[in-house]
Structure 1
């Protein structure tokens, strides 16, 4: 058995744990930004698992313009720490500047993916059991509204079918394809 026998599962575990918590922190940031229902059970879960870290951090990093800057800073720091640990486990050593700068494209991609998957899940939920109350559907509706409403203004429903999620998904995928590679190349160029 080679060195990768234990390294690969360990790297996977580190990435999974960090990405899961970063996802929850970013969800909290976006739920506050979109003014989603704070009393929704899913919102309460997100608040409970992020507050122990965010409340003390907010004393040092205050919000600005209705944005929770502490949540963004925490997500960035966690992503950088994840990259540091993964590169160290992979045998590349500790590369602090790479981790700090490399976290940016990863976070931007995760932010786009959050909205992409939220819209997909919302569309599926609307087909499965339309017209019934579901805490997840209610939260997704308020969460995705800032992305879907502008599209809905230009593309009204056709025969009762709302095509705006499909257009928004296409737009988010294109945004990811056009934004992430230049960001990654910029990080590589800065480190060269």
Structure 2
């Protein structure tokens, strides 16, 4: 099913934009620095679609529902195009399951890579002031804080990344059969 080069091309293009939209959503949820040049690039890449959606879909607290709807829409488009290229038919319920599960899967994937970059940066450049390093730190800080409330550090050794990686990997394994 996935050996078709057109399916791969559709998935790469759509998932790249989905990654950017999810990154915008996460940046807003974590209250990351809006003036970071990377944040500005993400906002510019997603604003042409998010801003008109905001006029129709109001935010709920810190949750930018317009970005969430856009992320679900991009994933739905991905599922639709993959199904169309493969020439199979699925039910509307399957579209909904593949859309929600795929969006959650890619959100977990975003956090997996952010955590990996964060761990590597803590080893090689713990005081890095690069905009990307600062952004990764702002994205992962809420996960670290939540995990550190449950699992205290052991004499300066922080085990929270291990447990966060385990949780992310477990959830990705659960969602993998339902994501495209």
TM-score (normalizing by structure 2): 0.88
Match of 2:38 in 1: 42
1:69 equivalent to 2:96? Answer no
The CA distance in 1 between the partners of 2:90 and 2:147, in whole Å, is 44
The CA distance in 1 between the partners of 2:62 and 2:123, in whole Å, is 34
Match of 1:33 in 2: 29
Match of 1:164 in 2: 160
Q: How does 1:1-192 map to 2 (within 5 A)?
A: 8-93=4-89, 96-178=92-174, 180=175, 184=178
Match of 1:188 in 2: none
Which structure has the greater CA radius of gyration?
1
Count of residues in correspondence between the two structures = 177
Aligned partner of residue 130 in structure 1, secondary structure = coil
By relative contact order (CA 8 Å, sep 6+), the higher-ranking structure is 2
Match of 1:187 in 2: none
CA contact (8 A) 2:128 2:134 kept: no
CA RMSD across the alignment: 2.1
- Compute the displacement of 1:92 (Å): 1.3
The CA distance in 2 between the partners of 1:91 and 1:109, in whole Å, is 24
Query: 1:52/1:156 Cα in 2 relative to 1: closer, same or farther (>3 Å)?
Result: same
- Compute the displacement of 1:160 (Å): 3.4
- Compute the displacement of 1:96 (Å): 4.9
The CA distance in 2 between the partners of 1:24 and 1:74, in whole Å, is 11
